[in-house]
């Protein structure tokens, strides 16, 4: 494991010791190193929750949005200037609870944004309530008698709703996670990286001792990411063995590529002076 | 004979082409140099409900919808029943012959075999154009002019469609000329070669935004804002504007905020319901100091309310929406010209002061159309505010040392421009901070630009007599009904002046004091139930406006009813 301190701010992370967010932080910085990014080459959008606090520890162009809403902000930024490297992150509560509508629609859009989901299966910053990814029966402050609903399957959702790069990483395997993030950023289209991220304080049952013996790398199994059906099947594998790696990858036109108004140059590069609406006036006479 | 002062209305079932025919009627009038005001009414359904479209024609501005009708074109029975009360004594109704055997409490009904003539022209679908031809025959407009306009309207539809509709107009026209000549007391005549434009408020907003350099428009359909989306979408490639129908209004405002952050001029539009969903993000634009322009086109609430009708009841809501306290600007144009100009100003204010600006319209302004001879003279120079081209090392996005509180923006991917636009309270770099001194400094920074902003805000406009008997005050679309009511009162010898508020928030009290202090009788006129502008004046100036003429039934004030109410107050009678 390397570090890339150029991307540090003056603030030191406020996460609990052992928090899975540290792994994601390092993996991101290492991915930037690998990609040869300068600080100003990265535009990142963050949500609310422990994952959102990452915004204070990365020296990039950042937008710390509101709860559940990172993807539409990222979409606006990307549409305004499609030359930017746009990365959105959010927690599982943030992005798959209140913000799940935006998630599905952004998958449909296949816009060239990388989306990292910090998946700790619990609400951490609000001190331990159930998340949409919590398993059935999970007992928390808000569900003392156990969760009744089925958990969200974000990987399966992403695959069926049109995301063109779908992967899962583990914050306990930083180098592997960094390589997934590099691939996701290099991918043209909407790339989703779900990250198994232990919350040692509010969800100790799903911490390193749980994940370490269970996770295995898909690339070691001969899994073919171009195979839609086998990708979907893998997305439902969530028991004694938990796959990490690239589940699904395909190439389809991105939203920007299909938007003819973006063909010549980014919207941000247009001069605003001397636009004539005379023709419109004439139409109305 | 009454020349060039005419009120026409057409009614029928939704789906019968009422709106298209109404617009065409008005355009033919404007091609004679005349001025029009078009007022549509329709229910929130696609087929079968009653639709009507009213065109008031005059030889000069201002023009506004009047209640009393000179000519009613009834494509069905319901139209006669619903609008009989609005007929002038010497007005006429044109109806289809199949209604002949029904007795209506009105004498001047001319029956035309509209369905038969339409079939003869090529199909029942042309019935509205039979009615159009018939209407113009009664008011002595030349058939050639009508046909020329029909050709223009159908120019993209092919020769067969043009021929069919030309024939329908001609048959309707000739039927009237042959059977009812000389039976009507009104006529229109050409007064100049100027062909005025016919523009809705939403079209004016959209065109003004294009002129101001709009590069992204994000919206979710909601009446009465939807037609901004419909107008811009087909123009997206021509003007290089990304027009995005987003998954909901939350995404619409956030997409616009993201785009503004990345350095383009972006706007979102909605009505009250959608604005409710946008409220949380509005505060995010404010705390991150990201410029933002929104359009809120009002309709009666609460909740779904009356989707296709007008109201001015969201003012207080938009003023206060979202948690915490922050600076925002609300602009309230009164007509098409002001809408075109103020949306341009909205973009300048949003970027110069790095705040959200909300242009508030309503169904009346957004969907009614008005004739104007030109708009280009209202263009405003684009001012983008403080944006750094070259960013120095050590850049602070929220630099507190800048006197006016407006720190420099750096746009990605400018080198050295790293920053955090943070919805959390933050330090000068944007990184989270909850220290009291930092919180206080940032609050002060965000608010102190108000003093400078005040100089850029549009002052209220004052119309009418210098030494008035009565003074009225209103905002937004109240303008045209108020001016029309003043004309009626003037004829009765009552002098009225009118203060039209174009920027209710931030409220600049000194702009109002002279007017209010010199008023003998002061009346607030508003399309809401509680008198929101009056209450804003009271809280800012400690002056209570005792007289209020309020209406929130979805209909605008008609000039005669407004004049009547003002007269009652003047005479000391109760409303």
Determine, for residues A43 and B424 on separate chains, whether the beta-carbon distance falls below 8 Å: no
| Partner residues linked to A91 by β-bridges | A118
3-state secondary structure of B528: coil
Determine, for residues B264 and A81 on separate chains, whether the beta-carbon distance falls below 8 Å: yes
Q: Give CA–CA dist B134/B143, Å, rounded.
A: 10
Determine, for residues A40 and B210 on separate chains, whether the beta-carbon distance falls below 8 Å: no
| Partner residues linked to A85 by β-bridges | A42
Q: Which residues of B touch A267 (CB under 8 A)?
A: 215-216, 240, 242, 259, 264
**In the predicted model, what is the mean pLDDT of residues A20-30?**
98
Token code pair at residue B19? 């709106």
Element counts in chain B: helices (H) and strands (E): 20, 22
**Burial of B466 from C-beta contacts in 10 A (0-12 / 13-18 / 19+):** exposed
Contact at 8 Å (CB) between B38 and B146? Answer: no
CA atoms within 13 A on the CB side of A95: 37
Other C-beta atoms closer than 10 Å to the C-beta of B443 total: 14
pLDDT computed for residue A1 by the predictor: 67
B566 CB contacts (<8 Å, ≥6 apart)?
Answer: B470, B472, B485, B489, B494, B496, B523, B549
Chain B nearest-CA residue for A106: B247
Q: Does residue A77 register a pLDDT over 90?
A: yes
pLDDT tens digit sequence for A226-256: 999 999 999 999 999 999 999 999 999 999 9
Token code pair at residue B296? 């809120």
Contact at 8 Å (CB) between B137 and B176? Answer: yes
Residues 67-126 of A with CB under 8 A from B: 69, 72-81, 83-84, 101-102, 105
Would an 8 Å CB–CB cutoff place A53 in contact with chain B? yes
Q: In angstroms, how far is the first alpha carbon of chain B from the final one?
A: 36
The 10 Å CB-count burial string (b at 16+, else e) for B222-236 is bbbbbbbbebbeebb
**In the predicted model, what is the mean pLDDT of residues A15-28?**
97
Contact at 8 Å (CB) between A87 and A165? Answer: no
The dihedral formed by the CA atoms of A82, A88, A94 and A100, expressed in degrees to the nearest 10: 50
CA atoms within 13 A on the CB side of B358: 32
Q: Give CA–CA dist B207/B250, Å, rounded.
A: 24
Q: Give CA–CA dist A207/A152, Å, rounded.
A: 19
B133 CB contacts (<8 Å, ≥6 apart)?
Answer: B143, B146, B168, B169, B170, B171, B172, B173, B174, B176
- Whether ipTM > 0.95 holds is yes
Q: Which residues of B touch A273 (CB under 8 A)?
A: 213, 382
- Is residue B329 within a helix (H) or strand (E), and if so which, with residue range? strand B329-331
Token code pair at residue B161? 């469609």
Q: Give CA–CA dist B138/B112, Å, rounded.
A: 12
Q: Which residue has the tokens 């709703």?
A: A161
The 10 Å CB-count burial string (b at 16+, else e) for A3-18 is ebeebebebebebeee
Pairing verdict, β B2-3 and A191-196: unpaired
Tens digits of pLDDT across chain B (575 residues): 899 999 999 999 988 889 999 999 999 999 999 999 999 998 877 777 889 999 999 999 889 999 999 999 999 999 999 999 999 999 999 999 999 999 888 889 999 999 999 999 999 999 999 999 999 999 999 999 999 999 988 989 999 999 999 999 999 999 999 999 777 889 999 999 989 999 999 999 999 999 999 999 999 999 999 999 999 999 999 999 999 999 999 999 999 999 999 999 999 999 999 999 999 999 999 999 999 999 999 999 999 999 999 999 999 999 999 999 999 999 999 999 999 999 999 999 999 999 999 999 999 999 999 999 999 999 999 999 999 999 999 999 999 999 999 999 999 999 999 999 999 999 999 999 999 999 999 999 999 999 999 999 999 999 998 899 999 999 999 999 999 999 999 999 999 999 999 999 999 999 999 999 999 999 999 999 999 999 999 999 999 999 999 999 999 999 999 999 999 999 999 88
Chain B nearest-CA residue for A274: B211
Token code pair at residue A94? 């943030």
B403 CB contacts (<8 Å, ≥6 apart)?
Answer: none
DSSP B106: -
**Burial of B413 from C-beta contacts in 10 A (0-12 / 13-18 / 19+):** buried
Task: Give the closest residue to B64 by CA, choosing from B502, B575, B555, B574.
Answer: B555
Contact at 8 Å (CB) between B11 and B50? Answer: yes
β-sheet with B356-362: strand ranges across: B242-245, B214-219, B265-270, B292-298, B356-362, B329-331
**In the predicted model, what is the mean pLDDT of residues A102-109?**
98
State phi, psi for B162 to the nearest 5 degrees. Answer: -60, -50
| Partner residues linked to B409 by β-bridges | B387
Determine, for residues A79 and B259 on separate chains, whether the beta-carbon distance falls below 8 Å: yes
Between CA A277 and CA A281, with CA A278 as vertex, the angle to 5 degrees is: 95
Determine, for residues B251 and A261 on separate chains, whether the beta-carbon distance falls below 8 Å: no
Q: How confident is the model at residue A157 (pLDDT cuts 50, 70, 90)?
A: very high
DSSP assignment of A98-112 = ITHHHHHHHHHHT-S
Q: Give CA–CA dist B385/B371, Å, rounded.
A: 34
3-state secondary structure of B70: strand
Q: How confident is the model at residue A44 (pLDDT cuts 50, 70, 90)?
A: very high
Residues 16-45 of A with CB under 8 A from B: 38-41, 43, 45
Contact at 8 Å (CB) between A180 and A193? Answer: yes
Model-level pTM greater than 0.80?
Answer: yes
Would an 8 Å CB–CB cutoff place A1 in contact with chain B? no
Q: Is the dihedral of CA B447, B448, B452, B455 positive or negative?
A: positive
Peptide bond into B506 cis (omega under 30): yes
Preferred mutation among B249, B251, B287 to probe A, highest tally of A CBs within 10 A: B251
- Is residue B534 within a helix (H) or strand (E), and if so which, with residue range? helix B532-541
Cα B542 to chain centroid distance, Å, stands at: 31
Determine, for residues A76 and B280 on separate chains, whether the beta-carbon distance falls below 8 Å: no
Q: Which residues of B touch A101 (CB under 8 A)?
A: 247-248
Determine, for residues A61 and B255 on separate chains, whether the beta-carbon distance falls below 8 Å: no
Contact at 8 Å (CB) between A218 and A247? Answer: yes
């Amino acid at each position: 494991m390397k570090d890339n301190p150029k991307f540090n701010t003056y603030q030191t992370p406020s996460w609990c010791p052992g928090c899975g967010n540290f792994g994601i932080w390092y993996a991101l910085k290492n991915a930037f190193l690998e990609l040869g990014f300068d600080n100003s080459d990265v535009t990142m959008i963050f949500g609310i929750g422990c994952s959102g606090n990452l915004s204070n520890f990365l020296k990039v162009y950042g937008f710390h949005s509101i709860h559940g809403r990172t993807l539409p902000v990222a979409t606006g930024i990307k549409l305004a200037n499609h030359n930017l490297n746009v990365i959105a992150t959010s927690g599982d509560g943030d992005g798959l609870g209140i913000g799940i509508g935006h998630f599905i629609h952004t998958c449909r859009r296949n816009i060239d944004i990388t989306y990292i989901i910090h998946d700790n299966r619990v609400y951490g910053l609000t001190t331990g309530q159930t998340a949409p990814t919590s398993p059935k029966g999970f007992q928390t402050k808000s569900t003392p008698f156990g969760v009744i609903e089925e958990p969200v399957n974000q990987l399966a959702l992403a695959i069926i709703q049109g995301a063109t790069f779908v992967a899962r990483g583990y914050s306990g395997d930083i180098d592997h996670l960094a390589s997934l993030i590099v691939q996701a950023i290099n991918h043209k289209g909407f790339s989703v990286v779900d990250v198994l991220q232990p919350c040692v304080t509010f969800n100790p049952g799903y911490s390193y001792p749980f994940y370490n013996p269970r996770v295995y790398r898909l690339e070691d199994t001969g899994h073919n990411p171009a195979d839609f059906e086998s990708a979907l099947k893998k997305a439902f594998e969530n028991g004694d063995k938990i796959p990490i790696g690239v589940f699904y990858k395909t190439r389809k036109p991105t939203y920007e590529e299909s938007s003819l108004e973006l063909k010549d140059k980014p919207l941000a590069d247009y001069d605003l002076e001397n636009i004539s609406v005379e023709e419109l006036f004439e139409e109305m006479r | 004979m009454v020349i060039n002062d005419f009120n026409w209305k057409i009614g029928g079932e939704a789906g019968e082409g009422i709106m298209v025919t109404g617009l065409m009627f008005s355009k033919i009038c404007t091609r004679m140099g005349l001025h029009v005001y078009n007022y549509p009414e329709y229910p929130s359904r696609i087929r079968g409900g009653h639709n009507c479209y009213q065109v008031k024609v005059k030889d000069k501005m201002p023009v506004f919808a009047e209640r009393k009708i000179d000519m009613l074109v009834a494509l069905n029975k319901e139209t006669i029943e619903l609008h009989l009360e609005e007929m002038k004594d010497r007005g006429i109704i044109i109806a289809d012959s199949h209604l002949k055997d029904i007795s209506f409490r009105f004498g001047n009904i001319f029956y035309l075999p509209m369905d038969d003539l339409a079939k003869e022209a090529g199909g029942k679908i042309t019935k509205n154009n039979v009615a159009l031809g018939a209407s113009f025959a009664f008011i002595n407009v030349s058939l050639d002019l009508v046909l020329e306009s029909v050709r223009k309207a159908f120019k993209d539809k092919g020769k067969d469609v043009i021929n069919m509709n030309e024939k329908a107009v001609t048959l309707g026209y000739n039927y009237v000329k042959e059977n009812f000549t000389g039976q009507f007391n009104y006529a229109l005549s050409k007064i100049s070669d100027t062909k005025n434009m016919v523009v809705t408020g939403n079209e004016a907003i959209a065109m003004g935004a294009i002129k101001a350099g709009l590069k992204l428009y994000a919206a979710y359909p909601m009446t009465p804002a939807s037609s901004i989306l419909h107008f811009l979408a087909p123009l997206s490639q021509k003007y290089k504007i990304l027009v995005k129908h987003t998954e909901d209004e939350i995404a619409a405002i956030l997409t616009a905020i993201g785009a503004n952050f990345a350095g383009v001029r972006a706007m979102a539009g909605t009505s009250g319901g959608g604005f409710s969903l946008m409220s949380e993000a509005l505060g995010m634009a404010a705390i991150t100091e990201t410029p933002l322009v929104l359009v809120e086109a009002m309709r009666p609430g609460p909740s779904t309310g009356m989707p296709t009708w007008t109201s001015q009841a969201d003012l207080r809501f938009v003023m206060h929406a979202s948690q915490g306290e922050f600076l925002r600007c609300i602009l309230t144009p009164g007509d098409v010209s002001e809408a075109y100009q103020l949306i341009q100003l909205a973009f300048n204010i949003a970027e110069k002061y790095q705040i959200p600006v909300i242009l508030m319209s309503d169904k009346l302004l957004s969907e009614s159309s008005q004739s104007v001879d030109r708009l280009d003279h209202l263009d405003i120079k684009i001012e983008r505010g403080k944006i750094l081209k070259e960013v120095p090392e050590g850049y602070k996005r929220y630099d507190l040392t800048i006197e006016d509180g407006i720190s420099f923006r750096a746009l990605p991917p400018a080198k050295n421009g790293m920053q955090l636009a943070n919805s959390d309270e933050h330090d000068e770099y944007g990184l989270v901070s909850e220290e009291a001194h930092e919180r206080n400094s940032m609050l002060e920074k965000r608010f102190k630009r108000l003093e400078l902003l005040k100089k850029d805000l549009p002052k209220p406009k004052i119309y009418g007599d210098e030494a008035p008997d009565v003074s009225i005050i209103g905002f937004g679309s109240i303008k045209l009904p108020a001016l029309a009511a003043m004309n009626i009162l003037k004829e009765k010898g009552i002098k009225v002046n009118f203060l039209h508020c174009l920027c209710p928030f931030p409220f600049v009290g000194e702009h109002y004091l002279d007017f209010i202090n010199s008023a003998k009788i002061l009346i607030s006129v508003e399309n809401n139930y509680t008198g929101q502008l009056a209450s804003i004046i009271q809280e800012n100036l400690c002056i209570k406006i005792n007289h209020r003429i309020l209406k929130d039934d979805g209909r605008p004030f008609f000039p005669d009813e407004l004049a009547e109410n003002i007269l009652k107050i003047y005479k000391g009678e109760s409303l």
